[in-house]
Structure 1
Amino acid sequence: MQARDIKTAQDALALAEARQLTHVKVAVTDIDGVLRGKYLSREKFASTLEGGLSMCNVVLGWDSQDQLYDNVEYTGWHTAYPDAQVRLLPHTTRDLPFEPAAGGDMLFVLGEFSGEAEQICPRGLLRRVLERARTMGFDAFGALEYEFFMFDETPESVRAKGYRDLRTWTPGAFGYSVLRSSVHAGFYRELIELCETMDMPIEGLHTETGPGVLEAALAVDEVGAMADKAILFKTFVKVLAQKHGLMATFMAKWSHEYPGQSGHIHLSLRHRHDNRSAFYDASQAHGMSQAQRHFMAGVQRLLPEMMAMYAQTVNSYSRLVPGYWAPLDATWGVENRTTALRLVPGSDKSQRVEVRIGSADANPYLALAAALASGLEGIEQGWEPGPMVVGNAYTQQFPAALALPNTLSDAALRLRGSDTARRLFGAAFVDHYAATREWEDRQFRRHVTDWELARYFEII
């Protein structure tokens, strides 16, 4: 049996025993989409597969820098930080090729929070949205495209430099470069092989426009599996890079001199009863079925309210400026890369919607949950999309209702005040997540930036 053949707790334990593993690595995602985990002894692993794992609920109560939120109800000093329960998910088991053991590679298993914490668990949220899709008669499929910059730096060197004057992995702008990928073929090969081994295969990999920037398109899968693959991809690309003395960043925009880094979401639905595409209708313009039209209308209408789930950091909004391949309004068009939603015409197999608003720093569970839940709402309500955009959306004016929040603070406020978000995701999640984004914004506003110093120090 191989790691990706595991379906049950018994399978997972049997493989750990067959490989003579003394320990297994397990992890859950926090609110920011960062994997948090630990090693478990084989004996402890066996007991947690049956009875669950206890993990301090601070994992849902701190930010990406391990600073404690001071404005959430679920966890905090007022709760004395008790344990939260985590269920391990045997079907997510993977080989961990970086950590060979005596009888074979270390095993890596994902989990999700259960009990009270399940209400705000990012993975649990997406699972509930997928259950809604199945109840409506659909299976949801998705693929994510990630742009990320590579640097000839280490965690120590970037800190020593104060994150200034960083050396990119390669110089200059050279999109789709055969030269760059050939010169660095060893790293590309290792990345592709790693993604195959860990079952997060890359469908396409190339340089993007900018020094040291790559784009990887993950192969389509069921949406829940895609979210797992996305969070593993973001984590282990960083691991591989650092093992080569390099660094990879998925922050939305690391320099004002270059375009931001996106995390584009491709989505489609299939009818459960006969596996036909719910989005493709050859008799309609652009092959767009009624269900796809309503789905796109749902994503479009709710995008301003859900923006905090697609763009979760202060830095995310630095990407959303005119002329940098990022949409500014909740617009849609056919094969139009200046709109927030891109209808991709195709066939029963390929007809889909691309949600282009997402940034690379987004938690994939939350971004996928927002897009899928919004689209399903559009189908249920029978909503119609606004007029299709033709040409450059950046130079056109749109109704105020389509304007997207342009700061994290505004986005958090819109989410908190959304009755639809509360109905789709639950008040516990909305209040907790909105509070964490408000916290993130407050941390930023406490600091003085280099831009402010250069602009105001002498002149004002």
Structure 2
Amino acid sequence: MSHVKLGVVDLDGVIRGKYLARDKFFNALDQGFKFCDVIFGWDSHDQLYDKSTFTGWHTAFPDATARIDPSSCRDVPMEGGMLFFLGEFDGPAAELCPRRLLRRVVDRAASMGLAATVAAEFEFFVFDETPHSVREKGYRDLKNLTPGWFGYSMLRSSVESDFYHALLKLCDDMDMPLEGLHTETGPGVLEAAIQYTDALAASDRAAIFKTFAKVLAERQGRMLTFMAKWSNAYPGQSGHLHLSLRDTAGTPMFHQDGRPGNMSDTMRWFVGGQQALLPELLAMVASTVNSYSRLIPGFWAPTDATWGIENRTCALRVIPGSPSSQRVEYRIAAADINPYLAIAAALGSGLWGIEHRIEPDAPVAGNAYDIAHPAERALPRTLSEAADRLAASSAARRLFGDVFVEHYAMTRHWEEREFRKAITDWELARYFEII
């Protein structure tokens, strides 16, 4: 191969990258490479932030230094064995680099004698559309891969087995193997459960899956969406995260027989930290305006920082099992997550709970939507409110640094302001004639 594929991840979880000549690649392995720091100065549509102090016209958008992680190497099978690598930033840009942020949280766990195992699972809708056709249609009247509500359908998955098999093979070939793939409830919606691994590698798998599953679909004349909620007619798309801890000897730390839910003290404090910080860190998990359309009662998404044992109405679901399978499911996350930031928030808050021995509330039994919860457990209802909570969080600043918290909160405020400029179909239908 004369070139390799090289990518870095921006604040929205989008892989930005380029082809790099073979000789420049080997040089970059030793000395690092340069990448314009504009990727931390614009949004997912390449629009420049108006209040960025890190980079902008005032800094003239200089190059930032990055380095290649050789362990991230993958073959890209649809490009004849092309190699793909992930990079991450050094120097000042390291404060904002999502991959470096998660690495710092992983290092924090290591300093406590702990390591995290993480798995991500994504729901996504598949359409018989192309990037051109969805724009020509104005994103309306889209044709789903299959019709009807048909969760766990053997019929649909068998009829569309060519796509399923191609996706399964792609995931095997690119070191992001799937433990499960099935239809979910809704027309053309699938759920993919990526095999668990260490936290950083799990984030790599999740980010690469979201990108290259789209590549596979579009090469077949189809499209995927990982929006948190693409239609009012259907439930939102989850991006649930499963987390557990082990010590340096590899011993699982979450399981203890004879306790409620088989929960050890370590697991209880971990859940306590996640519950306590979830309202403050929500912007790192629910990171788009659309994320908050999913967080409504009765649609399989939590509305408060609640937890329960085998309770899918809660934000945090403790899953009892054997020592190696005992884990907590971070159900607040949707398919639109930046995997690095969401896992950093889920893991960092749990470590915070262990460090401070934070006790969670009593576990919720029954329907969490029908129970009144303390005011401090209420989740922000908008992205702007979540950004305010993040900026004001002393725990977030200690976990992730002032530079990241301030810059990231600014980017989420920008996202909400951009949304406020839009005139929606709902507004037109409600006000155009009658007001």
Q: TM-score, normalised by structure 1?
A: 0.94
Partner of 2:395: 420
1:288 aligns with 2:268: no
Match of 1:78 among 46, 49, 58: 58
Of all paired residues, the percent bearing the same amino acid is 62
Q: Deviations over 1:368-413 (max 9, x none)?
A: 0001000000000011000110000111110100000010010001
Q: How does 1:385-404 map to 2 (within 5 A)?
A: 385-404=360-379
Match of 1:39 among 2, 19, 22: 19
Match of 1:328 among 260, 282, 303: 303
1:182 aligns with 2:158: yes
Q: How does 1:427-446 map to 2 (within 5 A)?
A: 427-446=402-421
Partner of 1:208: 184
Partner of 2:220: 244
Residues in 2 aligned to 1:179 and 1:350: alpha-carbon distance in whole angstroms:
31
Partner of 1:148: 124
Q: How does 1:210-229 map to 2 (within 5 A)?
A: 210-229=186-205
Residues in 2 aligned to 1:73 and 1:372: alpha-carbon distance in whole angstroms:
28
Partner of 2:333: 358
Cα displacement (A) at 1:276:
1.2
Cα displacement (A) at 1:73:
1.1
Q: TM-score, normalised by structure 2?
A: 0.99
1:90 aligns with 2:70: yes
- Paired AA for residue 256 in structure 1: N
Partner of 1:198: 174
Partner of 2:320: 345
Structure 1 unaligned residues grouped into runs of 5+: 1-20
Residues in 2 aligned to 1:292 and 1:407: alpha-carbon distance in whole angstroms:
30
SS at match of 2:122: strand
Q: Deviations over 1:202-225 (max 9, x none)?
A: 000000000000000001100110
1:232 aligns with 2:212: no
Structure 2 unaligned residues grouped into runs of 5+: none
1:57 aligns with 2:37: yes
1:30 aligns with 2:30: no
Cα displacement (A) at 1:282:
1.2
Residues in 2 aligned to 1:356 and 1:286: alpha-carbon distance in whole angstroms:
18
Structure 1 runs of 4+ with >6 Å offset: none
SS at match of 1:93: strand
Match of 1:450 among 407, 425, 429: 425
Partner of 1:8: none
Q: Deviations over 1:143-188 (max 9, x none)?
A: 0110000001000000000111111111010000000010011110
Residues in 2 aligned to 1:92 and 1:145: alpha-carbon distance in whole angstroms:
20
Residues in 1 aligned to 2:246 and 2:283: alpha-carbon distance in whole angstroms:
28
Residues in 2 aligned to 1:30 and 1:153: alpha-carbon distance in whole angstroms:
26
Q: Deviations over 1:333-383 (max 9, x none)?
A: 010000000000001110000010001101000000001000000000011
1:108 aligns with 2:84: yes
Partner of 1:162: 138
Cα displacement (A) at 1:72:
1.3
Partner of 2:386: 411
Q: Deviations over 1:43-88 (max 9, x none)?
A: 1101111111101100111111011111111111111000011110
- Paired AA for residue 123 in structure 1: R
Residues in 1 aligned to 2:229 and 2:268: alpha-carbon distance in whole angstroms:
32
- Paired AA for residue 220 in structure 2: H
Q: Over the residues paired in the alignment, what is the CA RMSD in angstroms?
A: 0.6
Cα displacement (A) at 1:267:
0.3
- Paired AA for residue 333 in structure 2: G
Residues in 2 aligned to 1:157 and 1:213: alpha-carbon distance in whole angstroms:
19
Q: Deviations over 1:13-48 (max 9, x none)?
A: xxxxxxxx1001100001100000011111110111
Residues in 2 aligned to 1:97 and 1:61: alpha-carbon distance in whole angstroms:
32
Residues in 2 aligned to 1:396 and 1:282: alpha-carbon distance in whole angstroms:
29
SS at match of 1:256: coil
Residues in 2 aligned to 1:71 and 1:360: alpha-carbon distance in whole angstroms:
28
Residues in 2 aligned to 1:362 and 1:47: alpha-carbon distance in whole angstroms:
33
Cα displacement (A) at 1:283:
2.8
Cα displacement (A) at 1:322:
1.1
SS at match of 1:79: coil
Residues in 2 aligned to 1:280 and 1:131: alpha-carbon distance in whole angstroms:
23
Q: How does 1:268-307 map to 2 (within 5 A)?
A: 268-272=244-248, 274-307=249-282
- Paired AA for residue 61 in structure 1: G
Q: How does 1:376-387 map to 2 (within 5 A)?
A: 376-387=351-362
| Equivalenced residues, count | 435
SS at match of 1:339: coil
- Paired AA for residue 55 in structure 1: F
Match of 2:100 among 96, 113, 124: 124
